[in-house]
């Protein structure tokens, strides 16, 4: 029906979940200084080659879930991809996220609506910059940007005054 969203896992379609996309490996640092760009490394594949998007969600205690971001996958990336997605974090004393702890979740969905398993990662903001090495299992050839995670982060106390989003 027009205007209806697809379910994450279609039911009763007669297709096995073996056709669902698979996240092969992933990794990211779990601590970061506000102002740094967080890199989330992901490798995924789909047996049917019809991955459509990767869905990112962020949960902040006391504030709840931010609106999700769906990152479209096109071309060769609809069959398999490897690299990193990046999340820009606020810069400046007014927008400092020090002490904030988030949960970042993501999954890959194909054109039929099948989705990979959900992956959850913690992210805590600390007072010093952190190196972000390539996670174990990834090679230099797999280190390429796949696109931004477009979710604006802010402290709960900034919601009332609008923050500088």
Question: Could you report the per-residue pLDDT of 35-63, keeping only the tens digit for each?
Answer: 999 999 999 999 999 999 999 999 999 89
CATH number of domain containing 99: 2.60.40.2550
pLDDT for 94 beyond 60:
yes
User: pTM to 2 decimals?
Assistant: 0.83
Q: Is 34 helix (H, G, I), strand (E, B) or coil?
A: strand
3-state SS string for 105-118? EEEEEECCCCECCC
Asked whether residue 51 is domain-assigned, the answer is yes
pLDDT for 116 beyond 90:
yes
Asked whether residue 29 is domain-assigned, the answer is yes
Asked whether residue 128 is domain-assigned, the answer is yes
- What domain range includes position 141? 18-155
Asked whether residue 3 is domain-assigned, the answer is no
Q: Is 102 helix (H, G, I), strand (E, B) or coil?
A: strand
Asked whether residue 133 is domain-assigned, the answer is yes
Distance CA 22, CA 1 (A): 28
State the average pLDDT over residues 103-126. Answer: 96
Which has the higher per-residue pLDDT, 38 or 7?
A: 38
Asked whether residue 72 is domain-assigned, the answer is yes
Per the structure, the count of domains in the chain is: 1
């Amino acid at each position: 029906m027009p205007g209806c969203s697809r379910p994450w896992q279609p039911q009763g379609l007669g297709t096995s979940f073996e056709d669902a996309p698979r996240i092969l490996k992933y990794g990211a640092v779990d601590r970061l200084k506000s102002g740094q760009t967080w890199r989330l490394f992901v490798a995924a594949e789909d047996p049917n080659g019809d991955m459509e998007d990767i869905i990112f969600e962020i949960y902040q205690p006391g504030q709840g879930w931010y609106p999700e971001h769906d990152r479209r996958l096109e071309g060769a990336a609809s069959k398999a991809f490897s690299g990193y997605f990046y999340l820009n974090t606020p810069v400046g004393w007014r927008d400092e996220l020090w002490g904030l702890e988030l949960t970042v979740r993501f999954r890959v969905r194909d054109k039929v609506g099948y989705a990979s398993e959900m992956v959850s990662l913690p992210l805590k903001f600390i007072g010093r910059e952190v190196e972000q090495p390539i996670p174990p299992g990834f090679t230099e050839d797999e280190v390429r940007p796949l696109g931004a995670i477009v979710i604006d982060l802010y402290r709960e106390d900034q919601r009332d005054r609008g923050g500088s989003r």
